[in-house]
Amino acid sequence: MTRIDDVARLAGVSTATVSRALRGLPTVSAATRRRVLAAAEQLQYAVSPNASRLAGGRTGTIAVVVPRITRWFFGVVVEAVEDFVHQAGYDLLLHNLGGREQNRQRLLRAANLNKRVDAVMLVATPLRPADLSTLAALGLPGVTVSSGTNVPGWPCIRIDDLAAARTATRHLLDLGHRRIAHISGDPDDELAFTAHLHRRRGYQEAIRAAGLRPDPSLDVESTFDIAGGTRATEELLRRGDAPTAIFAACDEMAMGALTALRDAGLRVPQDVSLIGVDDHALSGVLGLSTIAQPATEQGRLAAKLLLDPLEGAAGASTLTDPGSPVILPTRLVVRDSTAPPRAN
């Protein structure tokens, strides 16, 4: 029976190169791929990725951990990762924490995780100091996406949340708004997210840079979703002296704010301007101004950084410094929901 070693010998390459060539990975030159395919055809060799990985102690599976799969950002990242790893011949094992701290603890304490997967990706999954030693003990390669915690030796892909918030707030300031509210995530969230904290800080920095003082009455916390945006905006309006503009920490909260404003008889943007962060798939339909973040690109790049070491890709170790995060750019997208404040 023909083995991969026989194909490698005939083609004059390593078995790893044969594996990559037969799976169509882009890290093999066209000439080498043709030579490997010709050798495989001559020897009537049929590749079995699962068998070859198992023989080498590999599972062919990547674990991806997300806080809540129902949220837009997480779903887009997972879809991009799944597409990338499937093209490379790997399977994806999804762990949805459902927003529960106990699920996060249970996953990290799974002693056999390293026997079930070849690598781990954490998407916006905050970690405690004790978790870092647990991950190190697994001995698996990994990558984090949009995480507030750096894992030693793991690349990190994210946006600059501070800069995104500053850009959104400056856009409102440049339009002439001075009474600008901010609605953001819940500090008591079980999983202790950090993105909304950085976005609040960016909002406050932009307000101060304009010579203004952040007004606590214009800063409302709620859950990081549409319902939370509605509740936060309703609370803002109950406090009286409504703002002329609202910066929502994510587009889903902005969508909730849009509902609350319209229910209160306020027009967007004639009475209140509104901007979010993400560029959610529905933001264009709703005419929502936003700070677009490249969710798909974050997923693809994270998947590449995760698979390159497993595939022995040339330059994998120098693509990024694991100690420094890879910051992807955001951009301001101006639509119909922001305009200068109405003249009194």
3-class secondary structure per residue, the chain: CCCHHHHHHHHCCCHHHHHHHHCCCCCCCHHHHHHHHHHHHHHCCCCCHHHHHHHCCCCCEEEEEECCCCCHHHHHHHHHHHHHHHHCCCEEEEEECCCCHHHHHHHHCCCCHHHHCCEEEEECCCCCHHHHHHHHHHCCCEEEECCCCCCCCCCEEECCHHHHHHHHHHHHHHCCCCCEEEEECCCCCCCCCCHHHHHHHHHHHHHHHCCCCCCHHHEEECCCCHHHHHHHHHHHHHCCCCCCEEEECCHHHHHHHHHHHHHCCCCCCCCCEEEEEECCCCHHHHCCEEEECCHHHHHHHHHHHHHHHHHCCCCHHHCCCCCCCEECCCEEECCCCCCCCCCC
Q: What is the pLDDT of residue 318?
A: 44
Report, at the CATH architecture level, how domain 4-47 is classified: Orthogonal Bundle (1.10)
Which pLDDT does position 49 carry in this prediction?
Answer: 52
> What's the topology of domain 161-293?
Rossmann fold (3.40.50)
At 323 the pLDDT is 60
Residue 245 is predicted with a pLDDT of 98
Please give the class, per CATH, of domain 61-158+295-328.
alpha beta
* pTM attached to this predicted model: 0.80
**Can you give the pLDDT at residue 112?**
53
Q: Fold identical between 4-47 and 61-158+295-328?
A: no
Per-residue pLDDT at 44: 82
Report the pLDDT value the prediction gives residue 170, as an integer from 0 to 100. 98
Domain locations in the chain as residue ranges:
4-47, 61-158+295-328, 161-293
The reported pLDDT for the residue numbered 54 is: 47
- Please tell me the predicted confidence (pLDDT) of residue 106: 64
Q: What is the pLDDT of residues 216-252, one digit of tens each?
A: 999 999 988 999 999 999 999 999 888 999 999 999 9
Residues of the chain with pLDDT below 50 are: 54-55, 111, 190-191, 314-319
